[in-house]
Amino acid sequence: MMLLTKMITAFFLLFLSQLAAAEEVAETEIASQVVQGFQSELLHVMQQGEKLNFDQRFEQLKPVVIKTHDLAKITRIIVSKEWKKLTKEQKQELIQKFSTLSIASYAHYFKSFSGESFKIESVKQLSPGQIYVHTFLVLPDDKDVSMDYLLKKTGHGWRIINIITNGVSDLALKRSEYVSVIRKSGFDALITEISAKIKKFSQ
């Protein structure tokens, strides 16, 4: 009887481990599809080149950025502890501004096509709520650019919260730049600086 109990327990544990492994594979596949969908739209915009001006690229990229990025979470991380000091209205305004900045930066940098492509190298689940997607922007006549995506599980599925380009974290750069502004000069100064950067991207 004891031997039978041990066999049943071992079988149950094996079943649970296999189930967990299958769930992890499913989650990493979904997360990689989020990145793939985003990169596909970037390429689509790039391939249209001079046919699109900045405003057209912005409007074409806006839906996919909103769909694939957790822009509210990104905003909270960027301003760090200063987030708690903001009013509800300021938080909403800041999310809107940072969202516009994110879309504008993509519309600015991904505006031409010379045979580039994206390649997903690997996908790793860091924890039940975080997945890391390692990709490359393949450049025909230059060294490939490493572009890694950190995704977090939300109520709406997997969403991008950080992009690491050649080892440099976009979140870390923005946090370093903007936290000092809001601490030294206040909320209005931060909004002014973000607005200026959006305008620069659009020119």
- Report the length, in residues, of the chain: 203
Question: What CATH number did the domain enclosing 9 receive?
Answer: 3.10.450.710
CA distances from 62 to 25, 125, 158, 187 (A): 29, 27, 18, 25
Helix, strand, coil content of the chain in percent (nearest 5): 65, 20, 15
> Tens digit of pLDDT for each residue in 93-150?
999 999 999 999 999 999 999 999 999 999 999 998 999 999 999 999 899 999 999 9
Q: DSSP letter for 111, please.
A: -
Indicate if the pLDDT at residue 16 is higher than 70. Answer: no
Q: In this structure, are residues 160 and 149 in contact, taking their beta carbons and an 8 Å threshold?
A: yes
Q: Which residues pair with 160 in a beta bridge?
A: 69, 151
Number of domains in the chain: 1
> Tens digit of pLDDT for each residue in 57-101?
999 999 999 999 999 999 999 999 999 999 999 999 999 999 999
Q: Return d(Cα 62, Cα 107) in angstroms, integer.
A: 9
> Tens digit of pLDDT for each residue in 45-58?
999 988 999 999 99
Q: Return d(Cα 169, Cα 6) in angstroms, integer.
A: 49
* Structural domain that includes position 147: 2-202
